[in-house]
Amino acid sequence: MEETQMATTEPIRNPTHVHALLSHFKKNGQQRNYVLATLGIYTALRISDILNLRISDVFDLKTRKVKNEISITEIKTSKRKKLALHKKIKSALKLFLSNATVDAPLIINERTGKAISRVQAHRIISYAAVEVQIPYKVSCHSLRKTFGYFAWKNGTFPVILMAIFNHSSFRITTRYLGIQQDDQNAVYTNLRI
């Protein structure tokens, strides 16, 4: 399945597009969808893991504070994963959960009281990408890939990304990053010895 998704979705490589996607949700008062996209971009979690999060996973209902880190068991791999929350996530969660009083799914469908479906999450992300005129196919999986692409561009070693993504091979990780010829050419032209 990972191979198929990698072939059909790309990371969002342009920072302007990333900001436009997130701003789209904020401008339209779609705080839940903003949290969904922010979590996807800044945690590299699979959409199934994001949709499995509960309020108590990210927010302490007693102290009324967003947690600094979370610990989950990945659905696909059954592996435990611990990760620190980026300040953009913490800011989004603080606003989103300011009135939370009970534990519930974090990305909730208000009509059913359950987490939204993967299909609904896909529609939310892909529709917003069209609205902000991202010129290629964007899905929930693109958010995870966007994390990897920008982490790599910021100097994170691919082997660390391989561990973050729980990939079984380095080849999968390099395909995941969506490295294009322009990225390769930049290595040749920017080399300093």
Catalytic residues: 46, 76, 141, 144, 167, 176
Q: What's the CA gap between 100 and 127, in Å, rounded?
A: 28
Distant-in-sequence, close-in-space partners of 67: CB < 8 Å, separation ≥ 6:
57, 58, 59, 60, 85
Q: Please report which residue ranges of 44-190 form alpha helices under DSSP H.
A: 47-52, 55-58, 87-96, 118-131, 140-153, 158-165, 170-176, 181-190
**How is residue 56 written in tokens?**
């108590």
SS3 content of the chain, % helix, strand, coil (to 5): 55, 10, 35
Distant-in-sequence, close-in-space partners of 19: CB < 8 Å, separation ≥ 6:
none
CB 138 within 8 A of CB 149: no
Please, how many CA atoms are within 13 Å of residue 51, restricted to the half-sphere of its CB? Answer: 18
